[in-house]
Structure 1
Amino acid sequence: MPDASPTLGEAGAASVSPTAVLTIYIPSEAPQDKVTRAIDAILAAHPWEVPVIEVSETRLVMCG
């Protein structure tokens, strides 16, 4: 996006930056308003214009 204001690099040009992946597990019964507040806090703390936030269902598989 040429009109972007990237934290690193230049608008319209590809760049490589250090990345950290943060994985958070939230109980499925968590109230939606608390989930929304958690996502809002991550967005507020994130330095990029468009952070990647993936939300998916997870199952714990155990042996034995």
Structure 2
Amino acid sequence: MGLKWVDVQEIAIQLAESRADVDPRFVNFVNLRSWVVALPEFDDDPQRGGEKVLEAIQAAWIEEAE
């Protein structure tokens, strides 16, 4: 079972691990979307990740990084 857009916390954890050199506070949504879609376990429609879900992922990633 792959990652879906609703798996905000798990996506944030994987981004924190795979992009440890990135400060999530300064990531734009274009990059964030492409990094989420590129995660090995991601299995959802890339177009369904709207601004609200990207904001939630970014917020969870910031928490994860702290």
* TM bracket (short chain): 0.3 to 0.5
When normalised by structure 1's length, the TM-score is 0.34
Normalized per residue, which structure has more helix? 2
Larger relative CO (CA 8 A, sep 6+): 1 or 2?
2
When normalised by structure 2's length, the TM-score is 0.33
Higher-Rg structure is: 1
